[in-house]
Structure 1
Amino acid sequence: MIQLILSDLDETLLNDDGSINPKNIDAIARFTENGGYFVPNTGRSYKSVFGTLETLGLNKKTQYVVSYNGGAIVALEPDGSEKVIAQHAMPIALARKIFRLGQIQADIDTHIYTLDKLFIYNISPSDKQYMSDRQVPYTAVEGDDLSFLANESPIMKVIFEHPDPAVRERIAASVTSEVGDEVLLTFSSNRYVEFNPKGVDKGVTGLELARILNIKREDTAALGDNLNDAAQIKAAGVGVAVANAKAEIKAIADVVLTTTNNEAAVADFIDHISGTVHD
């Protein structure tokens, strides 16, 4: 029986416009009321999901979030307090190298995630809209001098945004050509190329949370759609691909849903599959 559901947010739980299908809200409420844990496992900062948790009614007791593609586990309390349960930070020297290597042309949009903030350099109009639709707070960085990071919280990851997949591939090649042994490369949302420290991913940290909660691997499920979800789908007891998932994700999933993120795929899994996967 599934006790822990680790779910990606964008293009998995959330509709394309960033809203949440009411069927998902109802199904998640039933799952958690019956003692299950529904935990966002996202590339984003935990601070960016406060609104999502409120909409889901998950802000009334201790709630866990896995953030930054496995960079941290944070416990959020109803009184607004936060406790970092685990963190897997990136050395600042490595972050600087990744940033430098990714600037292959003038229109590269770059995100630097610290434990508690998101800094964006050269944000594109489309990315600005994407952040706005999802109510993601960030601080714009005006120049490429990253010395300010020495006074910030630990760095979790560095990612780049560009609409052209060929450009994203070139960024990936540029970065990995020099620091490939030190980073984990993933792609997401058909717009981002992401870098975490080697050994840090959604799967490793998702199972770390399961151990903290005394939940067996076989009683965990992970839902996703994109390449940065591959690790959690492989690691979980039941890996689940939504219908709009990339072919590579469907190929490794134990369950491939017939419903998309816009058709309440999470509710589909909870209502029709999660209680029977071990039968």
Structure 2
Amino acid sequence: MSDATEQITTIALDLDNTLLNSQKNISAANTAVLKQLHQQGKRIVLCTGRALTLIKPWLQQLDLTQPTDYSITYNGGLIQNNVTNEILSQTVLTKTDIAILYRDARKLDFPLDVLGIDGVYSLMELGKSDYENYLKHQLPFKNLTFEQLPEHEVYGKAVCATTEAVVQRIRYQLSPATQEKFQIVPSRREMLEFMPAGVNKAAGLKQLLAHFGDDFSNLMAFGDEENDLEMIQAAGIGVAMENAIPQVKAVAQAVTKNNDADGVAYYLRQYFQL
């Protein structure tokens, strides 16, 4: 490998519409290339809004089960060891924080699901969203009111899963208090996510890289959506998928093939001369 390829120690990958194809699978080509690079000593880090529990099958598929393998979950709010589940870093919300968002949800009429440690709470007075179906019931859901939301539990994020039209309507009408308290970003066209202020995938990766004595110059990142923007911009090499939104392509150093054409494998083979 050249000095340039040796400089890259860590490869960060968004999941939906980046590493995953339209069938929500990691292709054989992507699997083979990532396994090869991991065996050569590169860190492979999945970066997602999902909980670690939900990505375990993909971690197993890619053999990301070594003691030094980590994932970035909750869009940067949680950094966990893939094997032990040990938390390297965590940024959380309290019920008091959620109350600020809840007032907006009541006023603007949108559904809200709150992700706790052991499952998801659907705030039923706001209407049941499609989030449970979207997750295919892979996490336990509990239907309750905001008043019943546990007072002393901490929360990773809140999610508004609705129609694209509602997402577009509400995201620019949220109160200044909500905009100050939360990092607000669509993870897909029909889903708006609310993380603690300052949380994004780049912030999580910065902490993980520092843990290993590295920085952004050692990072290559792949993404397609608005919640990937910061990490694509921060990475030494930021790669946008061909199917990425224009904002991501604008800050990327390279554009690869789309997620149904093994875009991740295509770029990695070229860059690392595999």
Q: Please indicate, yes or no, whether the TM-score normalized by the shorter chain is above 0.5.
A: yes
Q: Which has the higher contact order (CA 8 A, sep 6+)?
A: 1
> Contact conserved, 1:203 with 1:232, CA < 8 A, in 2?
yes
The more displaced of 85-94 and 167-176 is 167-176
Aligned to 1:119: 121
Gaps of 5+ in 1: none
Aligned to 2:142: 141
Alpha carbons of structure 1 residues 260 and 120: separation in structure 2 relative to 1, 3 Å: farther
The C-alpha deviation readout for 1:47-91, integer Å capped at 9, x for no partner, is 1110111122223544201011110100122xxx32000011123
C-alpha RMSD of matched pairs (Å): 2.2
The more displaced of 97-106 and 233-242 is 97-106
> What is the deviation of 1:275?
6.2
> What is the deviation of 1:184?
1.4
Alpha carbons of structure 1 residues 182 and 49: separation in structure 2 relative to 1, 3 Å: same
SS at match of 1:263: coil
CA distance in 2, matches of 1:137, 1:103: 27
Aligned to 2:38: 32
The more displaced of 5-14 and 137-146 is 137-146
The C-alpha deviation readout for 1:167-214, integer Å capped at 9, x for no partner, is 113332343443222221111221111111211111111111011112
> Contact conserved, 1:207 with 1:236, CA < 8 A, in 2?
no
CA distance in 1, matches of 2:121, 2:244: 28
TM-score calculated relative to the size of structure 2: 0.88
The total of aligned residue pairs comes to 265
Q: Is 1:272 the equivalent of 2:270?
A: yes
Aligned to 1:59: 65
Aligned to 2:202: 203
Gaps of 5+ in 2: none
Alignment of 1:61-210 (within 5 A): 61-77=67-83, 81-103=84-106, 108-121=110-123, 122-125=127-130, 127-132=131-136, 137-152=138-153, 154-165=154-165, 167-210=166-209
SS at match of 2:65: coil
SS at match of 1:6: strand
Alpha carbons of structure 1 residues 250 and 140: separation in structure 2 relative to 1, 3 Å: same
SS at match of 1:273: helix
> Contact conserved, 2:240 with 2:254, CA < 8 A, in 1?
yes
Residue number among 26, 50, 54 corresponding to 2:56 in the alignment? 50
Matched AA of 2:157: K
TM-score calculated relative to the size of structure 1: 0.86
